[in-house]
Amino acid sequence: MRKTLLIIALAAVLPIWCAPYHSKGHSFELTIGGGYSSLGYNAKKVTDNLVPSSSGSYALGAHIGYNWFFTEYVGLGIGVDAQRYGHSTSLNGTLTWQGVTDTDGELYDHRLALNSWKENQQYWNVEIPLSLVFSFPIREKVYITAQIGAKYCMPISGSYSGAGVLTHSGYYQPWNLTLEDKPNHGFYTESDFHPKGNMPSRHYWSIFAKLGVAIPIVDQLDLLIQANINGAITPCVKEGEQQLIGFRNDRAGQEQTHYFMNDYTALYNTEFTNGAIKPFSAGLEIGIRYTIRSNKRRSYPCRCLRDYYYY
């Protein structure tokens, strides 16, 4: 089986490698771009009184690359990318903690109303792309360009931040009474709670594709415009147990009042989200490509190949 595959590979490569004129080329490119990105998970409804939603965010990226063309139209590419991925999760509704004790020792149900609570998450990556590169002329010195390959992705920064309006109130069932705007009892409205933190990460793999056009500016220098799409095939966060959602704000005077709450936990790691974190992006990039091409006569490893091509 291995011999058969080797023969097939040689049969495919030798006609290209042994052609009497072999157009080799090198190109260097620099691009910047943006578009849409997400972290690949969805919001999940857990209670009837709280509605979660999720959406993507903007993408930013920069690319430096080198391409080696082993035929006139096909080559190999390698480079370094800097890329931003983002995501947002929102909560609207009410959370209720039943049977808790107030500052006077009375039992009540604590209600937390969330008005447009939104958590933004982002990753900044350094990525190493490896790809097949294609460049086909469509008119004089104008080329259709394409790439397809894989990236080794290394997150260098991951963070989240939350903001919104939180309203605490208490419902006392024996008296059918709801208390609001009683700060001394822990019932108040706040909009200055802005939890922040770091998101864990690990290295992962993604696949990508690009399609665009190279338009000449001056000799050997092209304007490069490409659409791109990129998606992780392995998660960038190690999967673990989901944490209980928490909105505790341990500011002065409230530590004991809201003892029953959990400390704030990033929403991506709670029961309100579903799916692994696999960054995705799509967008447009623009930049320049400098190309060096040359046609060189081949030297041959044996006389039979030389005689075959020049017969």
Structure confidence at residue 7 (pLDDT): 41
**Which residues have a Cβ under 8 Å from the Cβ of 12 and sit 6 or more positions away?**
none
Please give the average per-residue pLDDT across 238-245, as a whole number: 75
Tokens of 15: 């006609």
The pTM score is: 0.80
Q: Which fold has domain 2-309?
A: Porin (2.40.160)
Lowest mean pLDDT among 64-78, 116-130, 136-150, 288-302: 288-302
| pLDDT tens-digit readout, 83-126 | 999 999 999 999 999 999 887 888 999 999 998 899 999 999 99
- For residue 251, name the pLDDT band (cuts at 50, 70, 90): low
CB 205 within 8 A of CB 153: yes
Lowest mean pLDDT among 199-208, 238-247, 291-300: 291-300
Q: What confidence category does residue 262 fall into, taking pLDDT thresholds of 50, 70 and 90?
A: confident
Question: Are 129 and 78 spatial neighbours (Cβ–Cβ below 8 Å)?
Answer: yes
- The residue extents of the domains of the chain are 2-309
| Residue 63 pLDDT | 97
**Cα–Cα distance measured from residue 271 to residue 241, given in angstroms and rounded to the nearest whole number:** 10
The pLDDT assigned to 308 comes to 39
